[in-house]
Amino acid sequence: MPIQLKEAPNSTKPLAGRDFLTLGDFTKEEIHYLLQLAEQLKAKRKNGEEEALLKGKTLGMIFEKASTRTRVSFEAGIYQLGGNGIFLSTKDLQIGRGESIADTAKVLSGYLDGIMIRTFSQEMVEQLAENASIPVINGLTDLYHPCQVLADLLTIKEQKGALKGINVTYIGDGNNMANSIMVGAGLMGINLTICTPNGYFPKEVEVENAKKLTASSGGSINFEQEPEMAVTDADIIYTDVWASMGQEEEQKKRIEAFHQHQVTPKLLSLAKPDASFMHCLPAHRGEEVAAEVIDGTQSIVFQQAENRLHAQKALMAAIMG
């Protein structure tokens, strides 16, 4: 049976035409709807069926940062939905020669049906959305990575059968991944523990904003400096690289700061027996995670990576349809 797009239950406003700059732009009910739609689209794909929900639609994909998963999953996803994706490097656009974000947004709005942007500055994404008359999707900034966490929520739901009450431990830098995981946990009722060395915690404003969401979801956000304590009772152990793009000059300093925060087989053994390991990739084996963990039987990193495709297809179908 063909998928019929509808509004999410208790949706505050129509999904079509909405921007996705952070997970907090959507309600818990809307996120649940996107996950259900992603599950349907994934099942259709596995059965050799495709849903042309975006036939004739075009997505512009602006890249200032290099990418594997973001580019391929969005480009394949829009194609599988019956639409077309256009790769736009900031080096090739006039934006790279000084054209304003506002002018770029208005011009692209006349050509496209949606924009996905992967860049450094969250402010740049917000300016683009403010001036565009079509949906804008944050493919990654230094502050947030909402598309990754949407796929992560889909993966956790598949693996554990639920989101509310699941114990997730994030070990690593208080970066864009930590910020977005906090929002996802706050929205969906997940019990999240963040474990980072001194000096690398997420900014207080991001913590407070995420904690406000837990009041209605029943989840929690806690902090722990000792990895062994942080993983106790964990259903999911999650990590990311210690030095993100743009932080390469800090690599040596960060290795020294984070060396006790590597996810090792011993650390994994302190979590629940059926705990799963997650990583947003790319991974540096021997740094933030031991090869035996990421390549082991408890690792679900490639299921997680594939789900970028299905989660983003649901997102594009909902806001561009």
Contact criterion met (CB below 8 Å) for 154 and 311: yes
Q: Choosing from 118, 254, 279, 310, which is the catalytic residue?
A: 118
- Assess whether 145 carries a catalytic annotation: yes
Backbone angles phi, psi at 117, to 5 degrees: -130, 135
Is residue 70 part of an annotated ligand binding site?
yes
- Residue 68, marked binder: yes
Question: Nearest 5°: phi and psi at 87?
Answer: -80, 125
* 219 three-state secondary structure: coil
Q: How far is CA 50 from the centre of its chain?
A: 24
Q: Give the side-chain half-sphere CA count within 13 A for 123.
A: 1
User: Is position 148 annotated as part of the catalytic site?
Assistant: yes
Given the residues 18, 32, 113, 145, select the one marked as catalytic: 145
308 assigned to active site: yes
Q: Is 148 annotated as a binding residue?
A: yes
Catalytic residue among 19, 80, 113, 280: 280
> According to the annotation, is 146 in a ligand binding site?
yes
Longest dimension (CA), the chain: 55
Determine which one of 80, 148, 304, 312 is catalytic: 148
Give the N- to C-terminal CA distance of the chain in Å, as an integer. 18
Concerning whether 45 is annotated as a catalytic residue, the answer is no
Is 73 within any annotated ligand binding site? no
240 is in an annotated binding site: yes
SS3 22: coil
> Strand 114-118 to strand 58-63: parallel, antiparallel, or no bridges (unpaired)?
parallel
Three-state DSSP at 171 gives: strand
Q: Which of 254, 261, 279, 308 is catalytic?
A: 308
Residue 235 annotated as lining a ligand binding site: no
Told to judge if 280 belongs to the known catalytic residues of this protein, a careful annotator would answer: yes
280 labeled part of a ligand binding site: yes
65 half-sphere exposure, CB direction, 13 A CA radius: 21
Tell how far CA 220 is from the center of its chain: 19
Q: Please identify which of the residues 240, 254, 279, 310 carries the catalytic annotation.
A: 240
Is 89 annotated in a binding site? The answer is no
Is 195 annotated as a binding-site member? no
Q: Is 145 marked as a binding-site residue?
A: yes
Residue 18 known to bind ligand: no
Q: Is residue 195 annotated as a catalytic residue, yes or no?
A: no
Enzyme catalytic residues: 118, 145, 148, 240, 280, 308
Residue stretches of the annotated binding site for carbamoyl phosphate: 67-70, 94, 118, 145-148, 280-281, 308
Residue numbering of the annotated binding site for L-ornithine: 176, 240, 244-245
Tell me the binding residues: 67-70, 94, 118, 145-148, 176, 240, 244-245, 280-281, 308
